[in-house]
Chain A
Amino acid sequence: MNRWPHRLGLAATMAVACWITTSAAAAQNLHGAMPMADQAQKFAALKPKEAAALASTRIDPVIWQSVVPEDNTLTPARVALGEKLYFDARLSADGTVACATCHDVSRGFTDQRPVSEGIRDQLGRRNAPTTMNALLMQTMFLDGRSPNLEEQAKLPIINPIEMGQPDGAAVTKLVANDAAYQPLFKDAYGRAPTYEDVGRALAAFERTLVFLDSPFDDFARGDVHAISPQAQDGWVLFNGKARCVSCHALNPSNPLGTDNRFHNIGVSARHQDFEQLATRAQIELAKNSNPHALDELALSTDMSELGRFMVTRDRADIGAFKTMQLRNIVLTAPYMHDGTLQTLWDVMDHYNKGGEANPYLDGGIEPLALSESEIDAVVAFMATLTDKRFADQAQTILAAQRTAAATKRPFRDNALALRQLIPFEQRVTGKGGK
Chain B
Amino acid sequence: MPRRARHTSIETKHYAERDALFDGLRHLDRRAFLKVSAAAAAAAAVHGMVPQSFMPIDVAYAATSGVEPFRIAYISDAHLYERAVNERFVRSLLRAVDDVNHLDPQPDFVLFGGDLAQLGQAGELDLGAQILKNVKAPMHMMVGEHDWFLDLGEKWQALFGQPTYSFDHKGVHFVVLNSIHEDDFWTARGMTPMQRMQTVAGLDNGLQGRFQVGAPQREWLKQDLAKISKQTPLIVFSHSPLYKYYRPWNFWTEDADEVQAILKPFNTVTVIHGHTHQMLTNRIGNIQFHGMLSTAWPWPYAPQGLPPLTIQMDRADPFNPNDGCGNGGVEVHADGLVDKVYNLWNRNPVTVSANYLSSRGTKNVPAKPNLVSF
Contacts and interface: CB of A to CB of B under 8 A. Distances in A.
A369 to B, nearest CB: 10
Interface string A253-267: 000000010000000
A423 B346 CA distance: 17
B374 interface: yes
Contacts of A317: 372
A328 to B, nearest CB: 25
B320 A364 contact: yes
Nearest to B317: A363
B134 interface: yes
A165 to B, nearest CB: 30
B344 A429 contact: no
Interface in B71-106: 83, 87-88, 90-91, 94-95, 97-99, 101-102
A364 B325 CA distance: 13
Interface in A204-255: 246-247
B319 A428 contact: no
Most chain A Cβ neighbours within 10 Å, of B83, B91, B325:
B91
Contact of A312 (B131, B319, B325, B372): B372
A364 B347 contact: no
A316 B91 contact: no
Contacts of A422: 83, 87, 90-91, 94
Interface centre among A315, A363, A367, A427 (most CB of B within 10 A): A363
Contact of A363 (B83, B94, B322): B322
Given A363-B322, A424-B98, A427-B98, A419 B87 contact: yes
A246 B97 contact: no
B345 interface: yes
Nearest to B130: A429
A419 B94 CA distance: 14
Given A314-B347, A363-B322, A424 B102 contact: no
A424 B91 contact: yes
A366 B345 contact: no
B33 to A, nearest CB: 14
A362 B320 CA distance: 7
Contacts of A364: 319-322
B346 A424 contact: no
Contacts of B347: 314-316
Contacts of B344: 316
Nearest to B99: A359
Contact of A366 (B88, B131, B134): B88
A424 B102 CA distance: 12
Nearest to A315: B348
Nearest to A311: B372
Contacts of B322: 362-364
B348 A428 contact: no
A359 B101 contact: no
A316 B319 contact: no
Contacts of A246: 319
Interface residues of A, number: 27
A363 B320 contact: yes
A275 interface: yes
A60 interface: no
A248 B116 CA distance: 35
Contacts of B94: 422-425, 427-428
B124 interface: no
B321 A428 contact: no
Contacts of B91: 366, 422-424
Nearest to A354: B91
Contacts of B98: 357, 359, 424, 427-428
A41 to B, nearest CB: 39
B349 interface: yes
A428 B374 contact: no
Interface in A116-140: 138-139
B374 A138 contact: yes
B349 A363 contact: no
A403 to B, nearest CB: 35
Contact of B102 (A359, A366, A423): A359
A363 B94 CA distance: 13
User: Interface centre among B95, B345, B347, by most A CB within 10 Å?
Assistant: B95
Contacts of B254: none
B374 A260 contact: yes
Contacts of A424: 91, 94-95, 97-98
A299 B345 CA distance: 27
A428 B97 contact: yes
A272 B99 CA distance: 17
Interface string B298-319: 0000000000000000000001
A90 to B, nearest CB: 36
Nearest to B131: A428
Contact of B345 (A357, A363, A367, A423): A363
Contacts of B323: 363
B321 A429 contact: no
Nearest to A363: B322
Interface in B99-117: 99, 101-102
Nearest to B90: A422
A361 B131 CA distance: 20
20 contacts: A247-B319, A260-B374, A315-B347, A315-B348, A316-B347, A316-B348, A357-B98, A359-B98, A362-B320, A363-B325, A363-B346, A366-B321, A419-B83, A424-B95, A424-B97, A424-B98, A427-B94, A428-B101, A428-B134, A429-B134
Given A314-B347, A315-B348, A428-B101, 12 more contacts: A246-B319, A316-B344, A357-B98, A359-B95, A363-B323, A364-B321, A366-B91, A366-B321, A422-B83, A422-B90, A422-B91, A428-B134
Q: Which 7 A-B pairs have the closest CB atoms?
A: A363-B322, A424-B94, A363-B320, A428-B134, A363-B321, A424-B95, A428-B97
